[in-house]
A and B are shown apart, each in its own frame.
Chain A
């Protein structure tokens, strides 16, 4: 499993990455939306893209909007509200709260299985 992760907070990037690597996944972790966009368009082979919502510069939703998605995109945020959920659904993205990384990984596996 190869995952692209964008989050402006180093502790979150570190902890999510370490958890995923422990499961044998490969993780590219970037700190803002622009870098996420760049990586997504120049690198093949991501199975899933995980985006923090609140980042300086492009927000998660704004990145999702610009992505030509073929892979599942998950907005990973502590600040989920109805408005954000609605926007995510419109873009065909998923959302998950920032509480349980095991849950995040479970969701990724579920979505990737569906694609396959």
Chain B
């Protein structure tokens, strides 16, 4: 809500304030470079106080203040800097108690007892005064030409420092933007590729729908196809949403409950019934696990999907469950593909890792391992005995009472 501005206001104050924001200097921590300049100014001119001030909308904030212990900012209105930024030349007050510009100013009449004030505007290349480099004394005195010249040079050094920091920040931001854009393009390309086939199948099915001449059996098959493809698309979207959650520094929500692993594994295998054979083995009497059904289904589907993708046509993917150590259960997905290169193993579950010939999004294993973590489960990978890979998901058992 705009408030009426108090005190004297430069022309184009809006543009000036925009310039102040651009340098992102307000409320930043103390900085040795600026402190040294203020100290130099005070020492050279033989005064107790020197500040580097930035004039904000309703306050004067000090980037550096020699001789003014503990003062970080003052209101804009009484601040002499507010007047100093109205012009381009140094603002000189030799005896504030008799100078008509300043004699009723609280900084002069009050506790500070300001008498001597010289300020050089900190001026940007596009002509905006951000604030001042100034020197202050409690006794009236004159300023020499040499002192003014030195203050002008020191003010220029302050501006150089501000420009340098701005340029460095911009470079970092541009680099981050470029990296973010590359990652975004990779993910977008990967996900859209992965969605194309299910969508093409669904599209093809709509071409066949309402075919009165087709038998019941064909229609049921099409329904199954349809359902599975929608399931794949649904999982892709869920994966993307989980990824976004992780990007915001949060864990996806999980709701663990006692679950029979057989139910999860049979569903996962059925969802991939359109692909090459998957062999499932679940021993009888396996105790229930304490997991989130939907999340664990997602993890197992991701493992099966990868296993199928990297498996040769004649070697089925094997999925089984078994008891593990220390009140855990293990779900294993094994393929007979080329296997994973040893130097890739540490990176497998990282964001954006893709095998070299993959056009996927690189999110699948990353999200899956996060979903495992969220459920107090762990994911392991190792080479399979002959060739290929073995992924193991270790989950907690449900206690006899059904809760942990």
Contact of A12 among B197, B311, B359 (CB under 8 A): B197
Asked if A79 and B274 make an inter-chain contact with CB atoms under 8 angstroms apart, the answer reads: no
Looking at the assembled complex, report how far the CB atom of A12 sits from the nearest CB atom of chain B, in whole angstroms: 6
Asked if A12 and B200 make an inter-chain contact with CB atoms under 8 angstroms apart, the answer reads: yes
Also in contact, A79 and B359, with CB within 8 A (given A10-B275, A99-B199): yes
Asked if A16 and B204 make an inter-chain contact with CB atoms under 8 angstroms apart, the answer reads: yes
Looking at the assembled complex, report how far the CB atom of B207 sits from the nearest CB atom of chain A, in whole angstroms: 5
Tell me if B203 is interfacial: C-beta within 8 Å of chain A: yes
Q: How far is the CA of A74 from the CA of B275 in the complex (A)?
A: 23
Tell me if A28 is interfacial: C-beta within 8 Å of chain B: no
Size bracket of the A interface: 20 to 34
Contact of B207 among A9, A11, A99, A102 (CB under 8 A): A102
Tell me if B313 is interfacial: C-beta within 8 Å of chain A: yes
Chain A contacts for B323, CB-based, 8 A: none
For residue B213, which residue of chain A has the nearest CB? A22
Tell me if B201 is interfacial: C-beta within 8 Å of chain A: yes
Asked if A19 and B207 make an inter-chain contact with CB atoms under 8 angstroms apart, the answer reads: yes
A interface residues (Cβ-Cβ under 8 A, vs B): 8-12, 14-16, 18-19, 22, 31-32, 56-57, 78-79, 97-102
Q: What 15 additional pairs, Cβ within 8 angstroms, besides A15-B201, A16-B204, A19-B208?
A: A11-B229, A11-B274, A12-B197, A12-B200, A14-B225, A18-B214, A19-B207, A22-B208, A22-B211, A56-B312, A57-B313, A78-B200, A79-B193, A98-B197, A101-B207
Can you name 15 A-B pairs with beta carbons within 8 Å?
A10-B274, A11-B228, A11-B229, A12-B201, A14-B225, A15-B200, A15-B205, A15-B208, A18-B208, A19-B207, A31-B313, A56-B313, A57-B313, A97-B196, A101-B207
